[in-house]
Amino acid sequence: MRSNVWSRMTAFFFEHPRFSQKVKIASAYAVIVFVTNCCGAGALCAAERDFPFYPGEKLTFEIKWQFIPAGEVILEVLPIETIKGIKIQHFVLITKTNSFIDLIYKVRQRIDAYTDIDVNRSILYKEVYTMHKSRRDAIIDFDWKNFKAQYTNFGKKEKPVSIIHGAFDPFSILYYARHLDFKENDELERPVTDGKKCVIGRATVVKREKVMLDIGEFDTFLMEPELKEVGGVFKKSKGAKIKLWVTADERKIPVKIKSKVIVGSFVGELISIDYVSE
């Protein structure tokens, strides 16, 4: 059955006087793109384990700069797989700028994040992207026997970093948060690593509020994640704030994300939900 989201941009792009306004706008767009872009359980599927998501879920977001459509972001839960003999969850993020933004600052990105079956820790993270002249083909391999994470980009390995028990990559932590019970004013914490450092990622549940989108009205929790020490998908312009709205039900579906940057605001809004019934 079918039913009707942090970039590796530096402050240089926003502050250097030789960069045009168009490039600054496109760089700011990249911020929201990547924000939107925080057990041996056997082979049971997530739905059978009472998870808030399961294979077949596909969330599509439209991204706008101010009021200008800029592209789309897709979050998808793929079928359960086996890696190194371990049953895993597979999450995907796909980013694509539209034809207008392509002329200014073309972005293409795919992230594949893998966690253990119960979404208690990351197992593997892959990211391939093209952003204007920047390229990345990166892997973070989680070695839980030695509590190390190995970052590799275009085959070049960096020094492994120590990781904390239960650490997540910058994308799959979103799915971990979706099966938490929380309320207004709660502070959520969990280790997160970009393969270069491991820190405690934090998010504040600010308040509960109604959000009206084109596809309907949602009862949501407004959350403000704070992962400033982590690079990659969480790096943003100086002083930027991220706001994330998730449904206030058992599914905790992200429905809206907003980032205020130097050149204005970017908003990502859910425009469609697809899923496969049990």
The answer to whether the beta carbons of residues 45 and 273 sit under 8 Å apart is: no
Predicted local distance difference test score (pLDDT) of residue 239:
58
pTM of the predicted model, to two decimals? Answer: 0.80
Q: Determine, yes or no, domain membership for 3.
A: no
Q: Determine, yes or no, domain membership for 170.
A: yes
* Among 136, 93, 123, 90, residue whose Cα is nearest residue 111: 93
SS3 (DSSP) at 13 = helix
Predicted local distance difference test score (pLDDT) of residue 30:
41
Q: Determine, yes or no, domain membership for 5.
A: no
Q: Distance between terminal CA atoms of the chain?
A: 9
- Interval 26-55 mean pLDDT: 50
Q: Determine, yes or no, domain membership for 6.
A: no
In terms of residue numbers, what domain contains 37? 11-274
Q: Determine, yes or no, domain membership for 34.
A: yes
Q: Determine, yes or no, domain membership for 239.
A: yes
Count: domains in the chain: 1
- Interval 91-106 mean pLDDT: 92
Cα dihedral: 56, 117, 41, 79 (round 10): 30
Q: Determine, yes or no, domain membership for 85.
A: yes
Q: Determine, yes or no, domain membership for 2.
A: no
